[in-house]
Amino acid sequence: MAVERQNWELVEHVLELGARIFRELLPIIPKEVLQFDLTMSQLKVVLLLFLYGPMRMSDLASGLSVSLATATGVADRLVERDIVLRESEPKDRRVVLCRLSEKGQGLTDVLWQSARDRTRELLMAMTVPHLQLLNEALEALLQAGTATKDDLQQGKAK
């Protein structure tokens, strides 16, 4: 029981550190991002498409936790602004996929490059031993995430 408590406390501390790191990185949002003039729903669609690639409208609706009609309206506005493209799926022309346009990809590139640059600044301020330790910790986190994802996928397959 003491080990579980210690594990829980460490997990909570790591989550708090993660939140503090996020707040440290947040102030570097480039001015261009603030000028995107996207609603929160539109930004979520852009981020979903960036993270998962082309998606069906029903999957976007699910990802946004909104109705299909609402997701379609959000996507329509992004298509009008040339941020999202709609294309038929090659295997089934009845299926329409949404994906980021070149302009939409450029928007996400600005976000991620900005965060990457700020993270690089923070990492460059660390000593080699601390960087090695962080590298090992992140590798372990990635392995745990992969194992968890594999377990979830195997559970769905059953």
Domain boundaries, the chain: 2-125, 127-158
| Closest-CA residue to 27 (of 121, 143, 123, 142) | 121
> From CA 89, how far away is CA 57, in angstroms rounded?
12
The pLDDT value given to residue 78? 96
User: Torsion angle, CA of 14/19/21/25, rounded to 10 degrees?
Assistant: 160
The pLDDT score that the predictor gives to residue 155 is 64
| pLDDT at res. 31 | 64
DSSP string, 94-155: EEEEEEE-HHHHHHHHHHHHHHHHHHHHHHHTS-HHHHHHHHHHHHHHHHHHHHHHHHHHHH
Which H or E element spans position 24? helix 2-25
Give pLDDT, residue 91: 82
| C-alpha span between 6 and 14 (Å, rounded) | 12
pTM value is 0.69
Q: What is the pLDDT of residue 156?
A: 58
**Could you list the mean pLDDT of each consecutive 10-residue stretch along the chain, which spans 158 residues?**
86 89 70 75 93 93 94 95 90 88 91 82 92 93 82 61
pLDDT, tens only, 50-68: 999 999 999 999 999 999 9
CATH class, domain 2-125, is mainly alpha
